[in-house]
Amino acid sequence: MSDSIIKLLNKILKFRRDRDWEKFHTPRNLAISISLEAAELLENFQWQVGEEPITPEIRERATKEIADIFIYLLSMSHDLGFGLIEAATKKLEESHARYPVKKSRGSSKKYTELT
């Protein structure tokens, strides 16, 4: 894990420890929180029609929701005992194998549907 991620994770852990929130941050509750924050992110785009430009206000709100999601993801990965960056890197490598460029370029099909 990079130094900046470790520093951020330590700040997150201190923040919740100082407030005695570890008891609330169970894997179940963190998973729920991630889902709720993702829904709040989606709410920013709920009534957009077509390719409307992203306003500065929507960008600011989306930035905050994405930050909330990232904080919960870092917390949960720490609590479950794995590095988020390493897990994402491994998942990307798996996706490379599932979605070879020759079969998937320009297609939105799931890997099981690619021919």
Please state, as a whole number, how many other Cβ atoms lie within 10 Å of the Cβ of residue 92.
9
Mind listing the pLDDT tens digit of every residue in the chain (115 residues)? 789 999 999 999 999 999 999 999 999 999 999 999 999 999 999 988 888 899 999 999 999 999 999 999 999 999 999 999 999 999 999 999 999 999 899 999 998 898 7
Helix, strand, coil percentages (3-state) for the chain, rounded to 5, are 70, 0, 30
Please, what are the domains in the chain?
3-82 (1.10.287.1080), 85-115 (no CATH)
Between the CA of residue 91 and those of 22, 27, 98, what are the distances in Å? 28, 20, 10
Environment class of 78 (CB within 10 Å of its CB; exposed 0-12, middle 13-18, buried 19+): middle
Model-level pTM? 0.88
